[in-house]
């Protein structure tokens, strides 16, 4: 995969992707243990995951990333994704990823998953990681360090259906176990709207220092919010607010796709 890194980095440059702080990767990720980079939000399509993966590769890592099983079934794209680190988001594959050593000791996941695809707003950021604890349990079993990462800009790359239509597609997606929704990109195409992407890194969580999963999960949610608040001005969103699913949301205008 390193042989095609120069080509992959063109995508990261197109999105002007960066980690925040820019020295965060060298400071946080080491070679001696497993790491989980748990990022949010998913957005309609997680371009931010791909950009974070490319920049980690540039630092010498060969990250794994977990995604919907349907990705691996794609005729050509599936093989390419597997080549650069994709694994289906199953518990058994997660275990295998956490058992790998450097340079594959970093695994990228999107805990909010499909739920976050239907929580996209133009005015606020919404995360569903507060509803997910399974990844924390597996991290604890392996003594992995969890690194919260907020994907700035990832929610604004596409416009998706909201309101009753969006909720209907969310129910359908859960039944099919893959994402289905009405959307549009730049000028009504599949291309994403122009947006810079950044991954704001939060304080790492050494799961070996905690006795129970709920305590780790509470710390993760708190550290993700802190990462958002700490880096949002640097990204260019000084006044934007992060809201977790279940918290009070301001009224929104429905996107009439």
* Close Cβ partners of 216 (under 8 Å, ≥ 6 residues apart): 136, 139, 140, 146, 205, 207, 210
Residue 207: count of CB within 10 angstroms of its CB: 24
* DSSP 3-state of 136: helix
Cα Rg, the chain, nearest whole Å: 17
How far is residue 51's CA from residue 98's CA, in Å, rounded to a whole number?
21
Residue 27: count of CB within 10 angstroms of its CB: 10
Residue 177 is predicted with a pLDDT of 65
Distances (CA, A) of 248 to 88, 210, 242: 33, 30, 11
pLDDT, tens digit, 9 for 90 and up, residues 104-148: 999 999 999 888 888 888 899 999 999 999 999 999 999 999 999
Residue 10 is predicted with a pLDDT of 84
199 strand-pairing partners: 19, 151
pLDDT, tens digit, 9 for 90 and up, residues 11-55: 888 889 999 998 889 999 999 999 999 999 998 888 999 999 999
How far is residue 240's CA from residue 250's CA, in Å, rounded to a whole number?
13
Could you tell me if 36 and 107 are in contact, meaning their C-beta atoms sit under 8 angstroms apart?
A: yes
Residue 27 backbone phi and psi in degrees, to 5: -75, -30
Structure tokens at 21: 């702080």
Q: How far is CA 188 from the centre of its chain?
A: 25
How far is residue 242's CA from residue 225's CA, in Å, rounded to a whole number?
7
Structure tokens at 256: 């009439």
Q: Is 257 a residue whose pLDDT tops 70?
A: no
Give percent above pLDDT 90 in the chain.
Answer: 61
18-20 vs 198-201, strand pairing mode: parallel
Q: Which of 8-12, 181-185, 196-200 has the lowest mean pLDDT?
A: 181-185
Residue 20 backbone phi and psi in degrees, to 5: -120, 125
Could you tell me if 72 and 40 are in contact, meaning their C-beta atoms sit under 8 angstroms apart?
A: no
For residue 72, say if its preceding peptide bond is cis, omega within 30 degrees of 0: no
64-67 vs 106-109, strand pairing mode: parallel
Distances (CA, A) of 35 to 68, 79, 98, 186: 20, 24, 8, 35
198-201 vs 106-109, strand pairing mode: unpaired
Residue 67 backbone phi and psi in degrees, to 5: -150, 180
For the residues of 100-163, what is the DSSP string, one character each? --TTS-EEEE-TTHHHHHT---SSSEEE-GGG--HHHHHHHHHTPEEEEEEEETGGGSSEE--H
């Amino acid at each position: 995969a390193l042989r095609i890194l120069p080509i992959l980095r063109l995508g990261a440059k197109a999105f002007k992707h960066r980690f925040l702080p820019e020295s965060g990767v060298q400071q946080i990720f080491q070679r001696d243990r497993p790491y989980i980079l748990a990022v949010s939000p998913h957005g309609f399509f997680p371009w931010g995951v791909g950009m974070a993966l490319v920049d980690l590769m540039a630092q010498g890592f060969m990250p794994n990333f977990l995604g919907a099983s349907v990705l691996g079934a794609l005729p050509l794209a599936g093989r390419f994704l597997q080549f650069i680190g994709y694994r289906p988001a199953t518990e058994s594959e997660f275990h295998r990823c956490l058992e790998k050593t450097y340079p594959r000791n970093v695994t990228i996941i999107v805990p909010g998953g499909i739920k976050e695809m239907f929580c996209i707003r133009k005015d606020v950021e919404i995360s569903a990681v507060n509803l997910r604890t399974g990844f924390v349990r597996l991290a604890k079993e392996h003594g992995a360090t969890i690194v919260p990462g907020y994907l700035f800009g990832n929610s604004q790359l596409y416009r998706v259906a909201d309101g009753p239509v969006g909720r209907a597609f969310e129910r359908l997606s859960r039944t099919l176990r893959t994402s289905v929704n009405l959307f549009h990109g730049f000028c009504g195409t599949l291309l994403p709207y122009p947006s810079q992407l950044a991954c704001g890194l939060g304080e790492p969580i050494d799961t070996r220092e905690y006795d129970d999963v709920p305590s780790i999960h509470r710390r993760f949610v708190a550290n993700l919010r802190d990462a958002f608040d700490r880096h949002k001005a640097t990204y260019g969103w000084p006044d934007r607010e992060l809201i977790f699913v279940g918290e009070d949301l301001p009224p929104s205008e429905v996107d009439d796709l």
